[in-house]
Structure 1
Amino acid sequence: MMIDPWLLERLVCPLTRTPLVLDEAAGELVSAAAGLAYPIRDGVPVLLVEEARPLSGDTGA
């Protein structure tokens, strides 16, 4: 799955307005600030908070 680098530089999390990071293996755009992963369906990022999944991996601190 590939997203145009030009587009990726401009995409931001709709919740926090911070940059997103592409996780090609999972087919998602990750917002570390929001703790959410937005799906990419048929090559189209779905940037709806309702469609995002929460990130796991709490440090337990």
Structure 2
Amino acid sequence: MIDRELLDILACPKCKGDLKLREKDLVCLNCRKYYPIKDGIPILLIDEAKDLEAGLEGN
């Protein structure tokens, strides 16, 4: 789980927008991308980001 204090200072690496915590990833609603959390570590690499719409279709 991501610490709330850490979440407050994290930003989307693409647009610098706020990130929202979901169960297994962090979501940027500004640029519609999500970033995975692996072993409790957010992977905030633009190359690792997925389109939010693609992630919703997979559910």
Q: Name the TM-score class by shorter chain.
A: 0.7 to 0.9
Q: Which runs of 4+ in 1 moved over 2 A?
A: none
Uncovered stretches (5+) of structure 2, i.e. residues with no partner: none
Q: Which has the larger radius of gyration?
A: 1
Secondary structure, counterpart of 1:8 in structure 2:
helix
CA RMSD of aligned residues (A): 1.0
- State the SS of the aligned residue for 1:14: coil
Deviation for aligned residue 1:38? 0.2
**Superposition map of 1:1-61 within 5 A:** 2-24=1-23, 27-56=24-53
The alignment's TM-score, normalised by the length of structure 1, stands at 0.83
In the TM superposition, what is the alpha-carbon distance from 1:8 to its structure 2 partner? 0.5
Counterpart residue type for residue 28 of structure 2: S
Q: How far off its partner does 1:34 sit?
A: 1.0
Q: Deviations over 1:2-41 (max 9, x none)?
A: 10010000000001111100011xx000001111000000
TM-score normalised by length of structure 2: 0.86
